[in-house]
């Protein structure tokens, strides 16, 4: 008689005892730890990337901190992590250029070995309306926000699959769902990450590689939303802006979980859907 989802008899294994089957099966479930893993976090010089890098290092991962122009923030963060006894390196790359994206992946591997965790978090936002977006603006936003995550995944995910473990997390935005206030180029770049998420998740689901995205909104203490003001606060159902640590907390839960893949998860104070 079938007693529930976890009863082996229900899955057609009548000859194995429940306890023996359960032991064999549980051995196949990867541990929920990131200890000893190698992570690349792009945009580590910014608010959300910094919080995720700190959370990953606290969870025992070595962290490559990708950054663009903000040397001081990236090196301060790397110093803070290494002072706490963990491994970190600050690696600069302008993600608008494909060759620099590939170089960032290679330098991460040179520093720490094969990459287990890719957090494609770097992003740029230029507030513009449709009529004022030149083709160069569109191409730059798409290059940093969508092409670079694609190129990093293309370079790193096959190795993850070969080794049987990988985690990919893309940083989307509520704008992918609502259009948002920055502009159509930004919204389109973030929505593109959702297609990338689903495509890669399906391809690598049986290889131990999970691929997900997080869609935040109005996270302050970041370059994008430096200060909490009344006007912005009124847009958020919970009545305040979010904090990078709240995004990082969700990111770590997603990265730890081997059974969670192909998802886009919002952390937006209830903005969407509302
Ligand atoms: N804050 C929010 O409310 C919010 C909401 C939705 C989505 N997001 C997304 O969250 C992610 C992180 O943003 P944040 O809020 O933490 O803002 P942030 O503090 O401004 O961080 C942005 C990061 O992206 C990096 N970056 C930008 N252009 C780059 C380039 N061409 N090459 C390499 N790195 C580049 C920046 O590096 P440098 O400064 O070193 O150049 C910085 O580390 C972004 O993808 C953003 O779209 C944020």
Examine residue 149 and state whether it is found in any structural domain, yes or no.
Answer: yes
Residues with CB under 6 A from ligand 1: 43, 45-49, 67-70, 94-96, 121-125, 144, 171, 173, 216-219, 222-225
Helix ranges (H only) for the chain are 18-27, 47-58, 71-83, 98-112, 135-142, 148-163, 175-178, 184-204, 230-233, 244-256
Examine residue 40 and state whether it is found in any structural domain, yes or no.
Answer: yes
Q: What is the percentage of the chain residues whose pLDDT exceeds 70?
A: 91
Q: What is the percentage of the chain residues whose pLDDT exceeds 90?
A: 87
pLDDT at 17 over 80: no
- In the annotation, is 272 catalytic? no
Q: Which of 181, 67, 71, 192 has the alpha carbon at shortest distance from 125?
A: 181
Q: What is the CATH number of the domain that holds 65?
A: 3.40.50.720
pLDDT at 73 over 50: yes
Distance of CA 247 to the CA centre of its chain: 10
Instruction: Tell me the pTM.
Output: 0.93
Examine residue 10 and state whether it is found in any structural domain, yes or no.
Answer: no
CA of 88 to the centre of ligand 1 (A): 19
Domain limits for position 91: 34-267
- Total structural domains within the chain: 1
Confidence bin at 228 (pLDDT 50/70/90): confident
Of the residues 5, 186, 204, 259, only one is catalytic, namely 186
CA of 49 to the centre of ligand 1 (A): 8
Examine residue 255 and state whether it is found in any structural domain, yes or no.
Answer: yes
pLDDT at 21 over 70: no
Q: Which of 44, 66, 123 to mutate to test the pocket of ligand 1 (most atoms within 8 A of CB)?
A: 123
Examine residue 237 and state whether it is found in any structural domain, yes or no.
Answer: yes
Amino acid 26: pLDDT: 61
Cis peptide leading into residue 97 (ω within 30°): no
Confidence bin at 22 (pLDDT 50/70/90): low
């Amino acid at each position: 008689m079938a007693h529930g989802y976890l009863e082996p008899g229900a899955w057609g294994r009548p000859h194995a005892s429940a306890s023996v089957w359960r032991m064999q099966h549980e051995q196949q479930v990867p541990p929920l730890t990131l200890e000893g893993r190698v992570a690349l976090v792009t945009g580590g010089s910014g608010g959300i990337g910094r919080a995720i890098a700190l959370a990953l290092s606290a969870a025992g991962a070595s962290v490559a901190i990708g950054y663009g122009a903000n040397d001081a923030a990236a090196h301060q963060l790397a110093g803070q992590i290494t002072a706490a006894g963990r491994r970190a390196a600050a690696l600069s790359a302008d993600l608008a250029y494909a060759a620099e994206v590939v170089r960032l992946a290679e330098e991460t591997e040179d520093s720490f070995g094969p990459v287990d965790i890719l957090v494609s978090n770097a992003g740029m936002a230029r507030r513009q309306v449709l009529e004022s977006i030149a083709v160069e603006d569109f191409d730059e936003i798409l290059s940093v926000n969508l092409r670079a995550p694609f190129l990093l995944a293309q370079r790193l995910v096959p190795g993850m699959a070969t080794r049987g473990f990988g985690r990919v997390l893309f940083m989307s935005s509520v704008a992918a769902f609502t259009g948002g206030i920055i502009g159509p180029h930004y919204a389109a770049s973030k929505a593109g990450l959702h297609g990338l998420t689903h495509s890669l998740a399906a391809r690598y689901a049986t290889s131990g590689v999970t691929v997900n995205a997080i869609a935040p909104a109005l996270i302050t203490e970041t370059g994008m939303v430096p200060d909490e003001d009344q006007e912005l606060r009124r847009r958020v159902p919970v009545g305040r802006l979010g904090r990078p640590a709240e995004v990082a907390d969700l990111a770590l839960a997603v990265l730890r979980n081997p059974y969670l893949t192909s998802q886009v998860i919002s952390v937006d104070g209830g903005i969407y859907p509302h």
